[in-house]
Amino acid sequence: MIQFRLLGLSGSLRHSSYSTAVLRGIRDSLTPKSALEIFPLHGVPLYNEDDDAEHAPESVRTLRSAVEASDGVIMISPEYNHGMSGVLKNALDWASRLMDFRY
């Protein structure tokens, strides 16, 4: 029986991404009590606060639900100009607004 449900976010959209390959490696080496779902970030639009409310884009609502349903999130990103990729930062911007839109 699965006790820990993990969500994996990769900051690279590249088909042959090393970052995503690391996530797959983690997923494939977990014990049977744990599961890792890799959430594809390809469909997540650029953050726009005008679109951010209960009617946020469907891919964003799916991402938020997946984060909420997980016991933990594993994030991995290539280094892009000494920081995380824009893909991952963008996903975090959407996901970080899950609980409270007032600040």
Ligand X SMILES: Cc1cc2nc3c(=O)[nH]c(=O)nc-3n(C[C@H](O)[C@H](O)[C@H](O)COP(=O)(O)O)c2cc1C
| Euclidean distance between CA atoms 27 and 19, whole angstroms | 13
Please report whether residue 17 would count as binding ligand X according to CB under 6 A: yes
Query: Which residue lies nearer to ligand X by CB, 47 or 80?
Result: 80
The binder of ligand X chosen from 2, 14, 30, 48 (CB under 6 A):
14
Eight-class DSSP state of 16: T
- Residue 86 engages ligand X in binding (rule: CB under 6 A): no
Q: Which is nearer to ligand X, 88 or 95 (CB)?
A: 88
Instruction: For 97, list phi and psi in degrees, rounded to 5.
Output: -95, 15
Q: H-type helices in 40-85, by residue range?
A: 58-69
Q: Where are the beta strands (DSSP E) in the chain?
A: 4-10, 34-39, 72-76
- Selected binder of ligand X within 1, 46, 54, 81 (CB under 6 A): 81
Residues that bind ligand X (CB under 6 A): 12, 14, 17-19, 78-82
